Amino acid sequence: MVRLQDKIAIVTGAASGMGRATAFAFAREGAAVTVTDVLEAEGEATAEEIRKAGGLARFVRHDITDAEAWSAVVADVVSEHGRLDVLVNNAGISGTGDSDVTSLAFFDKLIDINTRGAFLGIRSAAPHMARSGGGSIVNLSSVQSTHASPGQHLGYPTSKGAVSGLTRSAAVTLGVDGIRVNAVGPGLLPPMRSSGLSGSSEWRDKFVSRIPLGRTGEVEEVASAVLFLASDEAAYITGVEIMVDGGLSSAI
């Protein structure tokens, strides 16, 4: 079974990390993937590697905080393929990218990228999905959406908690149009490009000690959960948040 055969998908923040792994997983399962990111060289490389492996992919530079850019990207995909079936709001930044945990500038940046970006994606994709009979939207939240840890900027759990609320609200509102909206909440994964304190071995060792499975997660494990929610296997699932965290959210 090819789980996303002929599906048309957008994966944001797909130049690296979870987004890149998700784009590869989608392409392997038959989707035509539009890879978006602000990192042009890395995004192009992701799309090229997918094509070399026999998948369908292209790269579009995309600032997810820009409403007009969102409209343009979605319109371009619909013009190219006739519809949009799946949107993965993956792009985001770490909560340890600024040592000042009460920095107003960084708070605004976290909300702008992590929360506003997902809202704009839903806002742009939903009308097109509704016109073609439905679709699946998967947002990336975090274990920090319900639990906090020392060293995180105060705005990070705030931004990811808002993504969880946005997911539930959108699921309830858009279900009538056949659009499912779910979230995946990663736990501790390999450091992101934007990681600060959470990239240090000392901080990570302390965090790992609290994880029931006793290890860091892998981006491919998050991608597998996203793939499931995007696929028709999850056709009767909407408004949920799956934690991919090694049991951390159950232990704290």
C-alpha to C-alpha distance for 184 and 88, rounded to whole angstroms: 10
C-alpha to C-alpha distance for 90 and 38, rounded to whole angstroms: 13
Q: What is the pTM of this model?
A: 0.94
Closest to 150 measured CA to CA, from 101, 214, 200, 92: 101
> What tens digit of pLDDT does each residue of 2-29 get?
899 999 999 999 999 999 999 999 999 9
Predicted pLDDT of residue 232: 97
Cβ atoms of 22 and 90 closer than 8 Å: yes
- Measured from the Cβ of residue 212, the count of other Cβ atoms closer than 10 Å reads 12
Report the pLDDT averaged over residues 204-225. 91
Where residue 130 sits, what CATH number does that domain have?
Answer: 3.40.50.720
C-alpha to C-alpha distance for 84 and 74, rounded to whole angstroms: 8
Report the pLDDT averaged over residues 90-103. 91
Number of domains in the chain: 1
Type of residue found at 28: R
Taking the CA atoms of 118, 119, 121 and 127 in sequence, report the sign of the dihedral they define.
Answer: positive
Predicted pLDDT of residue 203: 67
Query: 144 or 237: whose pLDDT is higher?
Result: 237
User: What proportion of the chain, given as a percentage, has pLDDT over 90?
Assistant: 83
Give CA separation, 204 vs 7, 98, 103, 135, in Å: 37, 17, 23, 37
Tokens of 187: 């736990």
Domain-embedded: residue 1: no
Domain-embedded: residue 180: yes
C-alpha to C-alpha distance for 214 and 245, rounded to whole angstroms: 10
User: What proportion of the chain, given as a percentage, has pLDDT over 70?
Assistant: 95
* Known active-site residue 156: yes
Mean pLDDT lowest among 183-192, 195-204, 230-239 = 195-204
> What tens digit of pLDDT does each residue of 137-192 get?
999 999 999 887 778 899 999 999 999 999 999 999 999 999 999 999 999 998 76
C-alpha to C-alpha distance for 154 and 103, rounded to whole angstroms: 9
Domain-embedded: residue 234: yes
Ranges 93-107, 122-136, 181-195, most confident: 122-136
Cβ atoms of 239 and 179 closer than 8 Å: no
Domain-embedded: residue 3: no
Predicted pLDDT of residue 126: 98
Domain-embedded: residue 136: yes
Domain-embedded: residue 23: yes
> What tens digit of pLDDT does each residue of 30-44 get?
999 999 999 999 999
Domain that holds residue 104: 8-251
Predicted pLDDT of residue 207: 79
* Helix, strand or coil, per DSSP, at residue 147: coil
200 pLDDT exceeds 70? no
Beta strands, E only, 62-165 = 86-89, 135-140
Please give the mean pLDDT across all residues of the chain.
94
Q: Look up tokens 């808002």; give the residue.
A: 162
196 pLDDT exceeds 60? no
198 pLDDT exceeds 60? no
Question: Which residue of the set 24, 59, 107, 156 is catalytic?
Answer: 156
Domain-embedded: residue 210: yes
Report the pLDDT averaged over residues 215-221. 96
Domain-embedded: residue 34: yes
